[in-house]
Amino acid sequence: MSSKHAEAKNPRFDSHWAMSTWLTLYYTIFVFVLLTAASAFLYSGLERRMDQESREYLLQKVQILGQILQDQQLSGPDIKQEVWEEAEISGRLQSSFFLRVLDAKEQLVAETPGMASRLPISAFPTPDRTEPQLRRWQSATRQYFLLVSAAMPPASSVSSRLHIQAALNVSSDQNLLGTYRRDIAVVLVCGLLIASTVGAAITRRGLRPIADITRATEHISVQHLQYRVRARARPKELVSLATAFDRMLDRLQEAFERLSQFSGDLAHEFRTPINNLMGEAQVALSRERMTAEYKRVLQSALEEHTRLAYMIDSMLFLAQAEQAPAAPAPVSLEARAELQAMCDFYHDLAEEQGVELACEGQARIPADPLLLRRALSNLLSNALKYTPRGGRVTLRAAEGPDTTRILSVIDSGAGIAPEHLGKLGDRFYRVDPSRTANPGGAGLGLAIVKSIMTLHGGSLLIDSTVGQGTTASLVFSAGRSPPIEST
């Protein structure tokens, strides 16, 4: 049978069974089992005690009578008298206690009056010379007796020919036990009903905070993401649940706000090049143009297409980075070599802009080579873009505290105001609110760098002072990286 079929037939997997029903059921079963065990223990204790008292009483009477017969060497009439007197001493003559003395041939010597009609000789167990024999017996009138047979020790020629039979009517004990059993049954039934009622009330009261949380969550929607469950005065077990739920809502609200902002920024960024393309195309088609004019329009369109392709490529990379199933497999890279390769690649551009490039420091970096070069390229292109002629851009490798390794791109540009530092790395965010200071950029470079560092288990840190320059650092933690292969 498949697991799905098993779950369908198992009531534990039935969605129609509420948690309150299960808790009430478990509580009721527990109370019922507890009451049953306690009642069984008390009943068995009472039964054992009554049986022990009856056995001790019978054995004591048999022992006393046997001692008298052995010591006094009594004859038949005297034995009869002694049996009657012993029955009278017990205070149970003609009621519940009976005595009988038999000779060696199982012939009656003496017995309590009325014993023969109630207790035949054959009902008693066969006597044993070593110890008394006991048994329980039910008469035809449904009376219960405890019977004992004891042989006289061979101390004399007379006593050796005798044995004693004694009986005790224990019907009252059985009736008492029967009444006790009925009382136990009533207690169990009443206890079951009370336990189910009380259990249901306790369960409903205990689950009330969950119902409150449910009602609170019903108010939460896309338009009302600001609502929170709040821990408040809830049970300790639900405080962590409410807190975790509120944190999840905080993350959802933040993600939704970022998504909304991203959608707006995306529309804005795409609208500008598309409007440019449409405007230039409309102007070009408004009348006949020279070949050179068409060529200029196509060149302008190519620039806009390049910009669109860059944005699409960058957004695709960010989407893939967010949904990456696993971190990249880094290798141990010589940081100085990677920095020098970047310097060599951007040397001509830096020289054209009148900016000095420099590399310094040594360290080994656990990173994916292609992703590392893309991150460094984005940082270095930004630094060159905002560093004035005569400035300096330094690429530095250093070992940080513990197992961290740091790659820094340091420029001597104008710097960034403090209010912008916390938002650097957000998609489409640019320091210039007009978005026109650098039309060639899309505001995705630092977002890509941030995603690359997240994939490596590291971070992007940006420190800047207005008028002095900016330092962008890639912080790698060797302790959080996967196993490294040296290159």
pLDDT tens-digit series, residues 182-193: 999 999 999 889
Last residue of a domain, one of 298, 320, 342: 320
Q: What is the mean pLDDT of residues 357-386?
A: 86
Query: Is a pLDDT exceeding 70 seen at residue 390?
Result: yes
Q: Which CATH number is 315's domain given?
A: 1.10.287
Instruction: For residues 170 and 409, give the distance between their C-alpha atoms in angstroms, rounded to a whole number.
Output: 103
Q: Same domain for 134 and 162?
A: yes
pLDDT tens by residue, 70-103: 766 665 566 666 776 666 655 444 467 888 888 8
Q: Are residues 34 and 142 in the same domain?
A: yes
Q: How many domains does the chain have?
A: 3
Judge if 277 and 347 occupy the same domain: no
Q: Residue 362's domain spans which residues?
A: 330-486
Does 366 share its domain with 387? yes
Q: Are residues 381 and 256 in the same domain?
A: no
Query: Is residue 92 situated within a structural domain?
Result: yes
Overall average pLDDT of the 263-271 stretch:
67
Asked whether residue 7 is assigned to any structural domain, the reply reads: no
Residue 193 lies in a domain: no
**pLDDT value at residue 94:** 44
The pLDDT value given to residue 73: 61
In a domain, 187, yes or no: no
The arithmetic mean of pLDDT across residues 389-412, rounded, is 86
Confidence of residue 180 (pLDDT cuts 50, 70, 90): very high
* 57 & 165 share domain: yes
**Is 4 a member of any domain?**
no
The 3 state secondary structure assigned to the chain is CCHHHHHHHCHHHCCCCCHHHHHHHHHHHHHHHHHHHHHHHHHHHHHHHHHHHHHHHHHHHHHHHHHHHHHHCCCHHHHHHHHHHHHHHHCCCCCCEEEEEECCCCCEEEECCCHHHHCCHHHCCCCCCCCCEEEEEECCCCCEEEEEEEECCCCCCCHHHCEEEEEEECHHHHHHHHHHHHHHHHHHHHHHHHHHHHHHHHHHHHCHHHHHHHHHHHCCCHHHCCCCCCCCCCCHHHHHHHHHHHHHHHHHHHHHHHHHHHHHHHHHHHHHHHHHHHHHHHHHHCCCCCHHHHHHHHHHHHHHHHHHHHHHHHHHHHHHHHCCCCCCCCEEEEHHHHHHHHHHHCHHHHHHHCCEEEEECCCEEEECHHHHHHHHHHHHHHHHHCCCCCCEEEEEEEECCCCEEEEEEEECCCCCCHHHHCCCCCCCCCCCCCCCCCCCCCCCHHHHHHHHHHHCCCEEEEEEECCCEEEEEEEEEHHHCCCCEEC
Q: Does residue 406 surpass a pLDDT of 80?
A: yes
pLDDT in tens, 3-41: 444 444 444 444 567 778 888 888 889 999 999 999 999
Does any domain span residue 204?
A: no
Query: Are 171 and 242 within one domain?
Result: no
Question: Are 115 and 100 in contact, with CB atoms under 8 Å apart?
Answer: yes
Are residues 348 and 469 located together in one domain of the fold? yes
Alpha-carbon distance of 138 to 386, in angstroms, equals 113
Mean pLDDT of the chain: 78
| More confident of the two residues 445 and 2 | 445
Q: Which of 89, 101, 94 is nearest to 57 (CA)?
A: 89
Domain boundary among 128, 149, 178: 178
Residue 374 lies in a domain: yes
Final residue of a structural domain among 287, 320, 353: 320
Residue type present at position 86: E
In 3D space, the residue among 107, 114, 112 whose CA is nearest the CA of residue 86 turns out to be: 112
Whether pLDDT at 62 is above 70: yes
Whole-number Å distance between alpha carbons of 427 and 444: 5
pTM of the predicted model as reported, rounded to 2 decimal places = 0.48
Question: Does residue 334 sit in the same domain as residue 476?
Answer: yes
Residue 442 pLDDT class (50, 70, 90 cuts): low
What percent of the chain has a predicted confidence (pLDDT) above 70?
A: 76
Top mean pLDDT of 124-138, 309-323, 424-438 is at 124-138
Q: What is the CATH number of the domain that holds 64?
A: 3.30.450
The whole-number pLDDT of residue 105 equals 77
User: How confident is the model over 309-330, as a mean pLDDT?
Assistant: 67
Domain with residue 373: its CATH number is 3.30.565.10
Whether residue 174 sits in one domain with residue 38? yes
Identify whether 153 is part of a domain.
Answer: yes
The larger pLDDT score, comparing residue 180 to residue 218, is at: 180
Instruction: Write the pLDDT tens digit of every residue in 276-297.
Output: 778 878 877 887 878 888 788 8
Kindly state whether residues 142 and 242 are assigned to the same domain: no
pLDDT at 431: 65
241 and 366 both lie in a single domain: no
Using DSSP bridges, classify how beta strands 97-102 and 163-169 pair: parallel, antiparallel or unpaired: antiparallel
Where residue 427 falls among pLDDT bands split at 50, 70, 90? Answer: low
